[in-house]
Amino acid sequence: MNQNAFETGHGAAWQAFDARLKSLRRKGEEREQAAGDWPRQYRQVTHDLALAQSRAYSPELVDRLNLLALRGHQRFYGSRGNLLAAVIEFIGGGFPALVRRESLVVWIAAALLFIPMFGMIALLQHFPEFVHYLLTPDQLRSYEGMYNPANQALGPSHSAESQTMMWGYYIKHNVGIDFQCFATGLFFGIGSVFYLLFNGMQIGAVAGYLTQQGYIQTFWGFVAGHSAWELIGAAISGAAGLKLGWALVSPGQLTRGAALKESAKVAVRLLYGAAGMTLCAAFIEAFWSSIGSTPFALKIGVGLTFWALFIAYFLFAGRGRNAD
């Protein structure tokens, strides 16, 4: 059965189930509904979701049914309003399963960020003067000062008493980058493409310049611990923006407004996960990365461990769940 026939045959039942969910307001009503054909309707929705996934129907349809099944689960099992449980469920399996399901747009965003970043690092080892096309002399002096081996604390200038303040600074800075990559996707994805490329080149320019100047232990020791959290978070934010942009470029049979609304349901969930990673990155950056006395080998080891854990997390966590 093709997707159009599937939606035509089951759409009325989904709408009825959705209307029933919206009509439930009190516990007594929920018990009354459960005593009728409510369980049958809920099982039908979860069955339709499984069919849509196995037949590789559109992500928009799968996400619609997944959301409907989730809302039904919350009503049926009385878990409405349990925010903590929802967050744990999302982190434990929903988020990595969502990233796998949206792997195409995530890989595109990652390529737009990482290819210019690594390309710039390599380029500056052979043509260091190229950095002046991207960074001003004042910026270069500032970065050299941040990663001077004589510093007790690395990164932007701050004292040991201001680590909490620096956490806030890093949150603001990193969230700003993520928001640029996400929100500008509304410009038919062009903004997200631009900011992913731009940030990739900027990060690569700083890393390449400091590496070429010999600031290897101080710079790479600083960024190693939080790099996986921050860079993967930025790529996923960009993927969320590209998801919005593609809905406007190719809305299919929907209007652009309707396509954007459907894609936004997925994009916002991607952004939630990216935001959590960004907050963790800022915490590590403020309280771990900035400590200049920590052995370089330990910092690199911690950073590589995080990268390995994230690879395993996105490959295996949440296997078999509805969001996969």
| Tens-place pLDDT, residues 59-78 | 788 888 888 888 777 666 55
Cα separation, 57 vs 275, whole angstroms: 29
Q: Compare 240 and 89 and report the one with higher pLDDT.
A: 240
- Say if residue 69 is in the same domain as residue 10: yes
Identify whether 217 is part of a domain: yes
Predicted local distance difference test score (pLDDT) of residue 168: 83
- Say if residue 154 is in the same domain as residue 202: yes
Half-sphere exposure of 81 (CA within 13 A, CB side): 2
- Say if residue 189 is in the same domain as residue 264: yes
- Say if residue 112 is in the same domain as residue 256: yes
Contact between 191 and 258 (Cβ < 8 Å):
no
pLDDT bracket for residue 308 (50, 70, 90): very high
Predicted local distance difference test score (pLDDT) of residue 320: 63
Looking at residue 37, the DSSP 8-state letter turns out to be: T
Identify whether 230 is part of a domain: yes
pLDDT bracket for residue 31 (50, 70, 90): very low
Q: Compare 203 and 39 and report the one with higher pLDDT.
A: 203
Identify whether 280 is part of a domain: yes
Identify whether 150 is part of a domain: yes
- Between the alpha carbon of residue 94 and those of residues 13, 158, 233, 243, 266, the distances in Å are 25, 38, 16, 18, 12
- Say if residue 76 is in the same domain as residue 109: no
- Say if residue 76 is in the same domain as residue 210: no
Predicted local distance difference test score (pLDDT) of residue 153: 67
pLDDT digits (tens, 9 = 90+) for 249-283: 999 988 999 999 999 999 999 999 999 999 999 99
Domain ranges, residue 9:
3-81
- Say if residue 195 is in the same domain as residue 275: yes
Considering the chain, what percentage of its residues have pLDDT values greater than 90? 56
Predicted local distance difference test score (pLDDT) of residue 5: 87
Identify whether 278 is part of a domain: yes
For residue 28, pLDDT beyond 50: no
- Say if residue 53 is in the same domain as residue 138: no
Identify whether 89 is part of a domain: no
Identify whether 42 is part of a domain: yes
- Say if residue 150 is in the same domain as residue 235: yes
Identify whether 207 is part of a domain: yes
pLDDT bracket for residue 322 (50, 70, 90): very low
Mean per-residue pLDDT of the chain: 87
The total number of structural domains in the chain stands at 2
- Say if residue 17 is in the same domain as residue 113: no
- Say if residue 173 is in the same domain as residue 276: yes
Q: How far apart are the first and last CA of the chain?
A: 21
Domain-terminating residue out of 81, 111, 137: 81
- Say if residue 127 is in the same domain as residue 202: yes
Residue-by-residue DSSP string for 184-223? GGGTTTHHHHHHHHHHHHHHHHHHHHHHHTT-HHHHHHHH
